[in-house]
Structure 1
C-alpha cells in the first residue's frame, strides 16, 4: 500500500514526542539525519554554558570545583546515564573519550582474568575498538593476543584462552543489534568477561546492562545524548567488578587525590575508573543532553524510532527503488538500531548532493550512505521529504558533478 501525505500527517499528529523538537536548535529547511554522528544542539545547553563560563568559571574560578559541584560532575552525570541504561547508581562514570574508556575497561577486565591472554572481537567493528585491542597486544610484548573473527563466528571463538570479548551492541554501519543478554551469558559460560560499546545504543534503544549481567560497557556523549562535539564519554563497571585495576591510574582515580600521595591507591567504587581532571565544560553540556533524554520515555523513543526507520525503508522502496540502492540493515526492526544505511556505487557523491539540498547524513567507506534517526527532533514529514529530495537527485543526476567527487577530511 502506497504511503500518502495524509498518512504522514496522521503520524505526526499522533506523535507523543513531538514537543521535544522545540528543545533543539534546528534551522528552517534542514533535515538532519546525522544524529548518530553528532547530535543537535539543545537550546538549554546555551544557557548552561553561559552560566558555566560567565559565572562558575569567570567569577567562581577555582572555588567552583566545590561551589558549583564540578568535582562531582563525573559521578552525578554517570548516575543519570545509568538510569537510561539499566545500571545502578555508582556503576557509571562520565568523562574522557570512548577510546580511552575502552582502554580502561579492557585493562580492568584483564586484571580479573589471570592466565588468559586473548582479546576477542569481530572484524568490521568500529575501528577504534579494534585499534585499542591491537595496541594493547603490541604493548604486551606477546603476552596478549588480539583475535578478530567474522561476526558470525564470535560465539564459536569463545574458549578458555579468551579473557575479554569486546563488541558493539549496535553496529555503526549495518545497525544490527547484538543480543546483549544472550552473548554475555555465552561468554560467561566460558569464563569470558564482556565489554560492550554502546555508542550507537545510548539514547537510541532500550538498554538493560544489569538485566543482561554485562561486565563493562562504554559509550560516547555526542551522538544520541546530544552532548556536543567531542563530548565526554562514559564507562560502566558492574559493582561486582569494582576491585578491578584499570591501568590508567590517574590522580582522580586515587582514593584521596588531594592528599598528593606519591603512591597510587585506587579509590573505592566507580571512582577508581576516573583518570585525569574532569572536563568541566564538556560535562556541563553533556548533562543538559542527558537531562532531556531522561524527560522522554525510552520506550516511546524506541517505538518512534522503529516507526521512523520503517517509514524510511518503505519510502525508499517506493520512491527510489529503481536507482540501485541496497539496504544493508536487518529488515526486522527489532534487530535494527536507530539508523538506516544503503550501499550504492556513488554513495559519497550522492551524500554531497543531498547536503546541498539541506539533507545531512553521512558516508562510510567504501560505499555506504548512513542516516541517523533521532526521534526527539525528527518528524515523519522530515523522513518523507528527505526521500523526495534523494529521488530528485537521482532523477536529475545531480550527484554527477566534479565537486562532489573529492573526499573531504570528514565524511
Structure 2
C-alpha cells in the first residue's frame, strides 16, 4: 500500500431498525435522483448489483441494433463504400469530438484508436521530444498501473531519458530544469484516490515540463478540464465509465498548441497528410490526426460511437455529484452493517481526493469477492487484499449501494475472519 493511501477502520453492528432506515433512505434517494432514468438505457438484470464499471462498463441497450446495422448493411451491403458513405474514415476524429466535452476539451484535439498502452507510448515519446534538449528525465507516477510504467521505461530508453518514480503527492516538488515530462494517473486504480490534476499540471508547466495524464479511471466519472487546466497530452480507455465495450479503442488528447510540433514515434499511413498518395516519404497530417497510425478497428470503433449516445443531455457535473453521494452512502452503509474490524476503507473520505470507486482492504479478499459475486454483487479485487467497488452514476443507484453493503456484511459474517 502506498504511503499516500488513507486507511480508515470501519465497521459496526447492524440492527433491524438501522437496516430498515438505510434501505428506506436508499429508496428515497433513488426516487429523487434525476440521473436515475438513464438506468433503463443499459442492459442490466434486476438480480445483480453491478459495481465493476471501473473495469468494464455495462452494455448500452441500443448498441446491439446499431452493430447489427453496421455488420449487415455497412459491411455486408456497402462493403468498401462505407469508408466514405458511412463515414468510417473520419470516425477516429468524429468520435474524439464526442468524447471531448466529457473530458473538458474543445473539438479537434482528441483522436480515437489503438489501445491505452499504445497511446501512452505515443504521448510520452512525443512529450520528451517536445521538451527539447537539456531535459533528460521523465517523472512517472510511482503508484501507476503497471503497464504505464513499462511503457514509460521503454519510451525513456528510446529517447535517451531516465525514469524517476515519484508519488503523485510529490510530483510538483520533484519537477525541475531537467524534467521533460511527467506521466500521472488522474485516479489511482487500486484505491480510487483522485490526484490533483490542476495543481500538478501547473507545477510541471512552471518547471518547463509537459504533463501527460492517464484518464482511464476518471473520464466519464468526474470533470477533468483538460483545456481549462492546461494539460499538454492525455490518454484514456473507453471501456470503463464510457461503456464502449470490451477492448474498445482508446483515445489520445493533444492540446492544440502542441499539434504542429507533435512528433509521433509511430507514424503510419493513416496519419499521413495524403494517405492515399502512398508515397515513401512521411509527411504528418495537421491536427490531432497525427495521433493516428494504421487502419482503425471499425467494428469496435462504431460500437463505442453508439455507446456514447447515453451521454446526450448529461452534464458531467451532475454525474460527479451523484458519484460522491453514492460512494458516501455506500461507505456509511458499510460502517453500519459490516462487523467491526473486518474491513478498512482505503479510498479517501475527502471528496476532493476521491474518484468514483470505493476500495476496502479485507483479509481473504479473493474468497470474499468470489462469494459476493455468487450472491449477486459484482465488484473486483486487487491482490492481495483490496476489494474494489466502482460506482457508475448513469446506472448504479442508492438501493444498489445499500444492498451491496448489506450482502458484504452477510458474506463476512459467514466466512471465517
TM-score (norm. length: structure 1): 0.94
Whether the 8 Å contact between 2:172 and 2:199 is mirrored in structure 1 is no
Match of 2:210 in 1: 193
- Residues 316-335 of structure 1 aligned to structure 2 (within 5 Å): 316-335=334-353
Match of 2:8 in 1: none
- Residues 301-380 of structure 1 aligned to structure 2 (within 5 Å): 301-380=319-398
Alignment partner of 2:145 out of 123, 126, 133: 126
User: How many angstroms does 1:291 deviate by?
Assistant: 2.1
Match of 1:242 in 2: 259
> Deviations 1:349-378 (Å, cap 9, x if unpaired)?
100110111111011122110000011111
User: How many angstroms does 1:321 deviate by?
Assistant: 4.3
- Residues 85-104 of structure 1 aligned to structure 2 (within 5 Å): 85-104=103-122
User: How many angstroms does 1:105 deviate by?
Assistant: 0.8
User: How many angstroms does 1:294 deviate by?
Assistant: 3.3
Match of 2:136 in 1: 117
d(CA) in 2 for partners of 1:196, 1:321: 39
**Match of 1:291, SS?**
helix
User: How many angstroms does 1:137 deviate by?
Assistant: 2.5
Match of 1:254 in 2: 272
Question: Once structures 1 and 2 are overlaid, which stretch shifts more, 111-120 or 77-86?
Answer: 111-120
Match of 2:313 in 1: 295
Whether the 8 Å contact between 1:203 and 1:293 is mirrored in structure 2 is no
Runs of 4+ in 1 over 3 A off after TM superposition: none
d(CA) in 2 for partners of 1:345, 1:5: 27
User: How many angstroms does 1:149 deviate by?
Assistant: 2.1
User: How many angstroms does 1:80 deviate by?
Assistant: 0.7
Match of 2:246 in 1: 229
d(CA) in 1 for partners of 2:408, 2:342: 13
Is 1:144 equivalent to 2:188 in the alignment? no
Is 1:26 equivalent to 2:55 in the alignment? no
> Deviations 1:30-71 (Å, cap 9, x if unpaired)?
110000000001111111110111110111111100010000
d(CA) in 1 for partners of 2:180, 2:168: 18
Alignment partner of 2:58 out of 25, 34, 40: 40
User: How many angstroms does 1:199 deviate by?
Assistant: 0.5
d(CA) in 2 for partners of 1:172, 1:221: 15
Whether the 8 Å contact between 2:168 and 2:184 is mirrored in structure 1 is no
Is 1:181 equivalent to 2:174 in the alignment? no
Gaps of 5+ in 1: 401-411
Whether the 8 Å contact between 1:85 and 1:207 is mirrored in structure 2 is yes
- Which structure ranks higher in relative contact order (CA pairs < 8 Å, sequence separation ≥ 6)? 2
Match of 1:408 in 2: none
Whether the 8 Å contact between 1:214 and 1:238 is mirrored in structure 2 is yes
Whether the 8 Å contact between 1:323 and 1:394 is mirrored in structure 2 is no
d(CA) in 2 for partners of 1:281, 1:295: 25
Whether the 8 Å contact between 2:194 and 2:354 is mirrored in structure 1 is yes
d(CA) in 2 for partners of 1:380, 1:363: 22
d(CA) in 1 for partners of 2:69, 2:36: 28
Whether the 8 Å contact between 1:84 and 1:294 is mirrored in structure 2 is no
d(CA) in 2 for partners of 1:114, 1:382: 51
Match of 2:3 in 1: none
Question: Once structures 1 and 2 are overlaid, which stretch shifts more, 334-343 or 110-119?
Answer: 110-119
Whether the 8 Å contact between 2:168 and 2:195 is mirrored in structure 1 is no
**Match of 1:363, SS?**
strand
Number of residue equivalences: 397
**Match of 1:302, SS?**
helix
d(CA) in 2 for partners of 1:305, 1:331: 13
Is 1:202 equivalent to 2:219 in the alignment? yes
**Match of 1:164, SS?**
strand
Whether the 8 Å contact between 1:78 and 1:92 is mirrored in structure 2 is yes
User: How many angstroms does 1:289 deviate by?
Assistant: 2.1
Match of 1:168 in 2: 185
Is 1:15 equivalent to 2:33 in the alignment? yes
> Deviations 1:8-35 (Å, cap 9, x if unpaired)?
1110110101111110111220110000
d(CA) in 2 for partners of 1:139, 1:91: 26
User: How many angstroms does 1:387 deviate by?
Assistant: 1.0
d(CA) in 1 for partners of 2:169, 2:313: 37
User: How many angstroms does 1:107 deviate by?
Assistant: 1.5
